[in-house]
Structure formats: C-alpha cells, structure tokens
Structure 1
C-alpha cells in the first residue's frame, strides 16, 4: 500500500489530529486532545460539576472556553427547578463565566448562533445532542459529568480515533421533504446502533444543497444513530452562515480546508433524495420508521413543533408554509416552542409566528421543554406528532403517551388534517 493511501485522512481524523497536535492519526489509536470549547447547561453543568470541583479543590482551566446555557429547567416549573436554576446562575457568577446564555434558547442552536463554533475546532458538550456542532465542520460530541470534570480541570480529553461511516445522498429533496426525513430514513435503515459510536459524515449533492439549519438537523440526530459525531465538511454555505453569526474572517481563513482526503478509508452508504418520501417514526423508537403513506389512520391530539432538531427558524417557516391561511383540525392542539429567542424575533418580524398563531398555535418558551421531559410534558393517553428527536416511552409524559416523530412539514400537515398526513399533498 502506498504512503499516500496510508496517509489519506478522513475529516474526523484531520480534526482529531489537529486537536492532538499531530499531522495524522490512525483509526483505533487513542490520543489526548486539547479542547477548544466546552458547553454545558443547567442540567449537566454546575449542579453536577461544582461539587466535584470543590472536592478536588480545582477550578475551570479556561473560563473563556466555557459556554453555559440555561435551557432545560427554564422557565422553572417547580421548587426543584427553581433551585437548580438559581444554583446555575450563582455558580456562573462565582466562576465569572463570560459566556452565559440564559433562557434565550436551546444550547445546540444558540451556541453556533452566537458565533462560538467554526470549522476545525474540537469541542465537547454536556448533552447527547452535542454532535449538532458537526454541521459546521467542528468535531463535537457529548460527554458525561465525570468526563466534563476532567475537561474543566485540564482542558483535555482522550479519544479513540473512530472509523468513518459515509452517508452519501444523491439527487435533491422534493418540496415538503426535509433533512428530518433523511435522518429518520437512515435511522430506520441502520438502526439506533448503526453508528456504533463512530464518526458519521454526511455528503453528496443533496447534502450540499441543504441550508445550515438543515445540516444541523442531520448532525444533531447522528446521536440517534449511535454515532460519536455527525460531520459535514465546511463549504461556502458554512462560511457565509458563520459570517452572519459574527464569526471573524480570521477564524474562517482556513475553513474550506476541513474535508476528507480522496481515498481516505470509510464505510459508504448510498441514498437517493429524489425518491425519498416524508417519514414518521412510530412509538417508541426513532428507528421504528415508516413512510407517511404507510402509517395508517393515526389521529394525534397534540402536534408539537419544538426542540433543537425541529423548531429552528427554518423549521417554523416550513410549518407556516403548510398552515398559511388555514386552521388546525378540531381536537388537535398545536404547540410551538421556538428553539431560539433570536430566531423567534426574526419569525415575528417576518410574519411567520403570526401565521402559526392564526392557525391556532399556542406559543411556548424558548427551551428544551417537552423534548427533555421537563415542564410542558403531555397528559395521560395523549397521541402526539412531534418534530423532536426522540420518542422513548415515558420521555415526554406518562408511559401511555404515544409519540410519533416527523418533520415540521409533516407535523403541520397532520395538525391541519387531523391525522398523520403527507405534507406534499397539502403543499400541492
């Protein structure tokens, strides 16, 4: 085997090598990486990390490289939540953290929105959907409290260099079909352990055509594939989006170099966007996936547009495009929880939120909400169609709650028709 083939690196290998101070790394190798940024929130942050830091007599290695987001327990619904939120705010002041985002949206959305991510970075997050950062050419993955303690004290973490699974999408999505449908289809085909804690990289013409919010949906739900990271190589779309987020030209000067080498080893899977239909994951697994026309006569009592994977500005616009000038069906409650306060303001300015309200939507706060099982969970026996990432039993309410996962297009169409419906028919 030639030296050039041996040295050919996937995007995941390149990102890890940079963080490890190496020119290249090999699959299976264990290396220590310097962390560029650590993100945690009110659930995964101070209430878990503070006691351990105090026991060690240690402090944060670099407070400028930490972002704390309050998004899980806000707005506080009970005394326990109030105490957690207060502890989080008190600790942020004690640690003098310069980057605190309080009740302004979900961590995976507000982190890039505030310009904290850029191609080439190596980041960790105290949340399982932290792979969302991979949409920006960033190696970002979720870790537990003990691992986060080590990062907070040392600024380093070890990783085993993963294999790369290449998800190649040819063609182009039809109107009313979205990245959420792509992701559900992949999870249905490969299963929730399909990623085997490896690196997943999304590529192909259909991926290149996606906006950054749609790419974020792919990377976000790589967690449901069981992957460590979900990567999209940086391109001009990435750079333009990050410039709008305020990322400086200096941080983007080498953005387009972050892609895999030709010939780098990966296990390849091929998909055709041209023929993809809207997908639904039935209870109680994101892998229990069916095309919408095959679901049958399911009548939801609640249609929920929320979470980091389903309530970004583009998701709100998708739902509004289905509901414009119409009202949801009798007996269906439409709930909308925008993922970011900043994006909600833009949706208000352009009239998108008014379209949703006119259709009968009740607007909730900019937080994880029902998706994380806090606050606005659902009542006994509810049938829910939701734009969230997970539908595990008892996650969003009592065990009797039946949650179907779908895109914002499909959630809106189902609210309108009173049964799980194909948004292509409504849009046509």
Structure 2
C-alpha cells in the first residue's frame, strides 16, 4: 500500500486511504444508534459531518419526540457524559456533534386580561369633589356626557333647603334694621362670588373671588353711607370701579390670551352679581320680605320630583301665593302677588343657570344656593319702588 494519496482519474483500488476515519463506520452504526436512542433523536435524521468545518446554523433542528413533549427528562446530562467517554476512548477522532436541543418557544400572544367587573351605580358617589385633577371615579355628569344626555343637572332638594333658609333670613331681618340685613346679605354675596367662578370651571381663583366679594362689600358700605335715596349711585359707582379693577387684574396675569379673557368675563360677572345683590339693602324692607320669601318657596317647589313643565308652573304659583301671604302681613296687599311672581321668575332663571354644563356638587351648594336670590335682588328693588 502506497503512502501517497490517490491521484488521477482512476477509481481507487485497495484498502482505506490515510484520510479515512476507521471509526466513522463504527460511530455511524452502533454508537450512532445508541446515542440517538439515549438522546431522544431519530438516527435517520442525524447529520453526517465531513470534517471540522460543519456549521450548525445551516441545518434545521429536528422536532422533539412525543415522549419529550410529554414531560420526560431531557438527555443533556447523559449527552455530555457520553461525549467525555468518547473523547477519552478515541482521542484522535473528532468529537461527534449533536443536534441542538430545541428550546420551548414562549407564547407570542399574552393571555387576555380578565375584564374588571363594572361597578354598580349604588357603589359610586353622586358627584365628585371639586379638585384640580378631577375625580377618578365616574360622576353623574361624566356619565351624562358619555350617554349623550342633557348637560342640565339640577341642584336638588338640599341646596334648595339652604336657599330657603337664606331667603327666610333675608325676609325676617329686613324689617328689623339695615345692619341686621347685612349679615345674611354678606353671606349671600360670598357664596355668589365663589359659586360663579366654579360654575365657569375656574378653580381655584382666589384673587377673582376675593375681588368680587370685595366689590359686594364696597357696595354695601356705599348704600349704608348714602341711604336708600341714593341707591343707584351707591351701586353703579362700585360696579364701574370693580370692572376696571377686574381688567387690571387680568392684564397682570401671565396666562394665555384666551384664559385671560375667560378670567376677565368670570370676574366681571361675579363682581356684578355680588354688587347687584346689594339691592336687598337698598329696597323697601317690606318688598325684601315678600321677594325673599317668594324665592324661598319657588326654589323648594322646583326641587320637588315633578316633570319640568309642571314643576315650573307649580313654582310660579307658589311664589305668587307666598307674595300674597307675606304681602298681607306686611301691608303690601295684592301687589305682593306680582312682586312674588316676578321674584319667582328670577329665582327659576338663577336655578337654571346653576344647573347648566354638568355642575359639580360644589357648584350646587354655592351657585345653586345663591343665584336664585342674587338674580331676584334687582327686581325686588325696582318693583318695590314702583309698587310703593
């Protein structure tokens, strides 16, 4: 046998040449079969390598047999032991290469999250608190917006009771003395200023609220100093000055032009309502008693669980009846019916305004309480002087 490798185009004759691995047949036979059975592979699918340059990345991995998928232990420890024994027995032979173990693939789609149970209406508060960030729980106003319902949410019976109490205080203190009337009047002006700002979605607006309330106090002082004979000048003077102060306040603001315009309008209207409420202080005491009592009765009747049209009619009739009753006690007579009905109309307008644009609970207990009385103040002053 020649030691030279085969050269030429003749087929090779004779025994194995030098490059032939005598252990290849042994490995491809018995050992391959045994190794494949131990490792969990099919010997028919085992790769036959030709040298040491075989790349595992270019070959597809075989599928796991059924027993491996059923939860049987993986053969990695035995496979490493077998390779060490094979390397010790045949140091010159290349190491057998095994197929890479297929790894279980993670699920590509996550399991759908369980739907959170819907909270029942009885588990939720009626209205959310007035906060900067809003309330995380859905309120009646938010639910109405989502369902496409009317933006009108009426204050209800509790604010109506507070309005009635404040109106009765005005009616009771007016015949006593002007300084006695100032106490419930100042409370009315404070609630009016805060409620109007919150009704317009501006909170906190401490400077605007303080400015509007200060305008009401200035008008009260002016009326008390000038007397009932000079009420128009005592009211219009502070009103003009406070409009100018509101403009100066917004010019000093660093907000955007749109926000400054909203703030200017809210401040002017709030100051105007607070100042016009001083009309109770300048009106005839008997007219104040009739008008305030009519507003109290009208708001209570409007809060009854009746259809809207029926509730409005009942409210106006109740206001006129209260005017007649209180007018009879104060000497106004039948004129009290007209004054009471007019005050009732103004009260319903203020009630409607406080119900608009999904108001919060804070709005209902400020604007909902004060606006019916504040809106009726100019009418009480005018009709009180006209009816004599």
The TM-score, its normalising length taken from structure 1, stands at 0.26
TM-score of the superposed pair, with normalisation by structure 2 = 0.27
Max Rg structure: 2
Higher strand share: 1
